[in-house]
Structure 1
Amino acid sequence: MAFGALAGAALTGAAPAGAVQAAAVRLASGVTYQQYDVQAAKGPTRIHVIRADLRDPKVRLDLLYPGAVAARAPVSQLADTQGAVAGVNGDFFNITETQHPGVEATGASVGPAIASGQALKAAVPDGQRFGPALPPGTSTQDVLGMGVDRRVRLDGLTLAGTVRGWGGKLPLGGFNQYALPVGSIGAYTSAWGSVSRLRATCGTDTDRAAPCSTDTHEVTIRHGRVTATADTPGSGPIDAGTTVLVGREEGAQQLRKLSVGEPVRVRHRLVPATSRVPYRFAVGGYPVLRGGAPLPGLDATTSAVRTAVGVSDGGRRLLLLVVDGAPEYRTGLTIAEVADTLRDLGAVDGFSLDGGGSSTLVARDPGATAVTVRNHPTGGAERPVPNGIGVFSAN
């Protein structure tokens, strides 16, 4: 992949052989911003890159999100509210519900999410995701996360949970998700927000557009006891100390056995597939590069505006990449080209996030009080998104 010339000097870090790029701009201790022009297969493309050095004790990462799973806000607003020096948009999300008239799109993300060490949600079934087709061998449970050891990893997070009551125990099938597996029970907490929970009972594990279930039930549990029941999932904020259980099909039939006043215990946690280190933050998407090699089966034909993350140096260095959406660059990159570009920039592992109109990279110049958007979003303005990756620096 050839890189065109930009005014400036050399980059501090890896770059493709023969590349000429804009000078790196220091945003804060351990954090830089840089842009490149790329000659991709379908035309010229500009990319914007944030590099974060986690070996610097002043640098940390966390999830940017608007305070609720089922909510959205522009990346610049999320970054300024949380005090990030830089950031990009995050996971794919429930953006529309054209197949289910009368059902509200939740705005909630597809994959698992952890913010400041707190689990926010688990993954929807693969067939319920929004976004391009997943590469072979990947799933909605894939995440990029940073452990409490300050190292970034590619991993997977599965939900482990139970509902104990009516003299027995059942597995929990969902946690603050916009879509529940068929026949399951899902738990919703104050982290969900106030959006209707009806969407959770629509579609199937293999068909997002399938009709909503007609067999549903909801149970509200406060301080360990059932306080209310309903046949239709409700809406509105959920108080702290309260869990709402939503069941569909077999899950609904089990929940109907509960009556007001009965004791019920709900437990849930996200379990890493590989890491033994707890995660401080995690965001969903899918891997495109592992151990310096692109994943087999990556799409090499569909070019688009992209957001991606590269990891190197044993998880101690991170780069955030966003493709510009200006008309002269909008041909973008294929997913295969994203993997190659991340590798050329020095990444060993790579992870794809939501793209298109969601792709946004923001950065705050030294001495500035707010971030600015460095790319040109394809829609001409920032799209509100459910989450993102924030880079923070103590100085």
Structure 2
Amino acid sequence: MTDPLELAAIDSLFTEEERDIRDTVRKFAAEQIRPHIAEWFAAGELPARELARECGKLGLLGMHLEGYGCAGTGAVAYGLACFELESADSGVRSLVSVQGSLAMYAIRTFGSEEQRQRWLPAMAAGEAIGCFGLTEPDAGSDPGAMRTSARRDGGDWILNGEKMWITNAAIADVAVVWARTDEGIRGFVVPMDTPGVSTLPVGHKLSLRASVTSALVLQDVRLPGDAIMPEAIGLRAPLKCLGEARLGIVFGSLGAGYDCLRAAIDYAGSREAFGKPISGFQLTQEKLTEMTRGLVNGMLLAVHVGRLREAGKATPAQVSLAKLNNCETAISIARTARTILGANGVTLEYPVLRHANNLEAVITYEGTSEVHKLVVGQALTGQAAFR
């Protein structure tokens, strides 16, 4: 039997170093995540700090950033790491991508040298955890409508507001928080032990259960003047961070789809009905073929956009198109794989419905499918249809 991705010789698109990174992360996932992930998902918990330290040892945190203890790999290598992590579970990939592509990227790109020196080496090692406070209860797809405010008080800043759906917040040491000021939207580096900072867990989740998700509450939080990130000016700054994180999702979502497809192929080969394996039936083979077609097309698109990112040529519309396509492809694969597994597909003995549930969140965060369609639509027509 042929691996689905090898029908298009996908491995030939990667360098030896990229394949080595992928294989290292695959081994890490096989040994430290897969044996426990169903239990973590069922319990709604994740040993995030322990996993972060292990990821730090492997150089996965902020791996595509330069300096400050970061590995400085290319975009495709980072994408392959996300692919392997998310093939185990989306929650684990979220831990890594929020740390590296949102919190660390923001500090690296917009922060002061003092902020970089204080936080980035510890974050790269997994000894400090970061979160990214942009989304609010009433400001999701329209972050410009945020209500969190920051006002000057002498040489200090006073922050008030609430952020919602913040990955890593309850275990974080530092938060990158975006707030409205008299100068417009600005970004702040907020140590989580600052008086007035608190978190509230988001309970009863049916998606990303193996992930730490919280509300981040800021009540008269007093920060020194140098807590502001000097280059984080205007809404373009947090949106640039989101664009950085989306590339990990472009690859990662396909990892979830790939795991579902492999599970369906294995199950179909061993499950018998009417006297033979169900993999020998035409309708089953049609499903497997369609899932493979979507996976291969999505992977080719992911690698292409990754190479464009490495060359400094990827546009926001291209990344939006890839995120839209690959998330929709992955969740379609997960749902189709579930039909092949029948009733067994709804249990945690197999990964497909866990992945499908997770992907319901993945198609929403870092830009919903609807928002990405509008980004692509604007590129095609020259007309903004957001309002």
TM bucket normalised to smaller: under 0.3
Tell which has more relative contact order, 1 or 2 (C-alpha 8 A, sep 6+). 1
Higher strand proportion (structure 1 or 2): 1
Higher helix proportion (structure 1 or 2): 2
TM-score where L is the length of structure 2: 0.27
